[in-house]
Each structure stands twice: as structure tokens, then as C-alpha cells.
């Protein structure tokens, strides 16, 4: 039996073009964020504080409770959340999947360069942080980049039925 539905012969623009344009502006598509959160389990948290009142502490504690390996990176800390703290990314002895940044904008280019040298997979600039030049450098080196997004909120949105 012949179909009575009409089909357009004009191709629809590929979704990847839209996704690439968003990614170029530091807005990865939601599916890439989900994939990052599912596949990348070791988070080096640059600027992680031992003070529970600091956003970095709450975010890292949440991610640790969800099964992520947290690697504190802060020269002023000895240990955070029961994990040894390292003074910089170069000192971390294990493979890093995601570099989560809780530092001022002026520090981001150096952090990105260190992440590239460490062969990290993802640069994640927390909510309120976006650095286009550093993001472009990271992308050119093959890293994925997330800017101005809270990793806790993105995780909760995707994996907690009650949300936050």
C-alpha cells in the first residue's frame, strides 16, 4: 500500500552543524555533557578548598558521593575530602579525565596549558567562568570544553530523578 504522507526532498541541516556552532561558543550539546559525565570518572578540581562553605568543596563532595574520583589541586591544601592535594596539575601522578576549574579568569590559560600537557580529555570551567582564548586553545589541542556550567547541576539534571 502506498504511503499518503508527503516527504520533503530538501535535506534538513545536519544537527552536527548546530552542535559545532554551539561548541565554538562554549556551549556543548547536552548529549556531549551526558557522555562526559558518564565516561569521565577522574576529576582534577583546580582550586578545591577544604572549607565546606566554598562552592568548590560542595561541588566536589557531591561528585565524590556519586562515585567520581576527586583529585584536589591546590597548593594551599594538604588533603581535601580524604584525598591528597597536589600543588598543580603537573604533580598529579594519575591520568586526569576532566579538569574542573574553580579559579579566577587570569589563571585559566595556564591551567589549560597544563591540562593539555597532561593529556586531559575535558576542560570544565565552572559557572561564571568562560575564557574564549583558552577554550579555543584547548579545542585546538583536541580537548572538549565546557564553559560557564556547574558540573553538579549538570549531573543532577541528567542523573537525579528529583533534580536539584
pLDDT tens track of the chain, all 164 residues? 444 433 333 333 333 444 555 555 555 566 899 999 999 999 999 999 999 999 999 999 999 999 999 999 999 999 999 999 999 999 999 999 999 999 999 999 999 999 999 999 999 999 999 999 999 999 999 999 999 999 999 999 999 865 55
Question: Which helix (DSSP H) or strand (DSSP E) does residue 117 occupy?
Answer: helix 108-117
Where is 80: in which H helix or E strand? strand 79-80
Give every CB contact of residue 27 below 8 A, 6+ residues apart in sequence. 147
The pTM of the full predicted model, rounded to 2 decimals, is 0.81
Indicate the CATH number for domain 25-159. Answer: 3.40.50.720
Could you state, in order of their start, the residue ranges of all structural domains in the chain? 25-159
Minimal CA–CA distance to 149: which of 34, 70, 54, 57?
34
Nine-digit cell string for 21: 556552532
CA angle 30, 39, 101 (to 5 degrees): 70
What pLDDT is recorded for position 31? 84
In sequence order, the 6+-apart residues with CB closer than 8 A to the CB of 86 are 71, 72, 73, 92
Which residue reads 504511503 in cell numbers? 3
Amino acid at each position: 500500500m502506498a504511503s499518503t504522507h508527503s516527504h520533503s526532498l530538501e535535506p534538513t541541516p545536519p544537527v552536527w552543524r548546530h552542535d559545532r556552532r554551539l561548541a565554538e561558543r562554549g556551549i556543548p550539546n547536552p548529549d556531549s555533557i551526558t557522555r562526559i559525565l558518564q565516561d569521565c570518572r577522574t576529576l582534577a578540581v583546580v582550586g578545591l578548598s577544604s572549607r565546606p562553605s566554598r562552592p568548590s568543596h560542595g561541588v566536589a563532595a557531591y561528585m565524590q558521593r556519586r562515585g567520581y574520583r576527586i583529585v584536589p589541586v591546590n597548593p594551599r591544601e594538604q588533603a581535601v575530602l580524604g584525598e591528597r592535594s597536589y600543588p598543580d596539575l603537573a604533580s598529579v601522578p594519575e591520568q586526569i579525565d576532566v579538569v574542573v576549574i574553580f579559579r579566577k579568569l587570569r589563571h585559566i590559560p595556564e591551567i589549560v596549558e597544563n591540562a593539555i600537557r597532561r593529556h586531559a580529555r575535558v576542560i570544565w570551567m565552572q559557572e561564571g567562568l568562560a575564557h574564549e582564548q583558552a577554550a579555543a586553545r584547548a579545542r585546538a589541542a583536541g580537548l572538549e570544553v565546557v564553559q560557564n556550567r556547574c558540573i553538579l547541576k549538570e549531573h543532577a539534571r541528567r542523573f537525579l530523578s528529583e533534580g536539584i
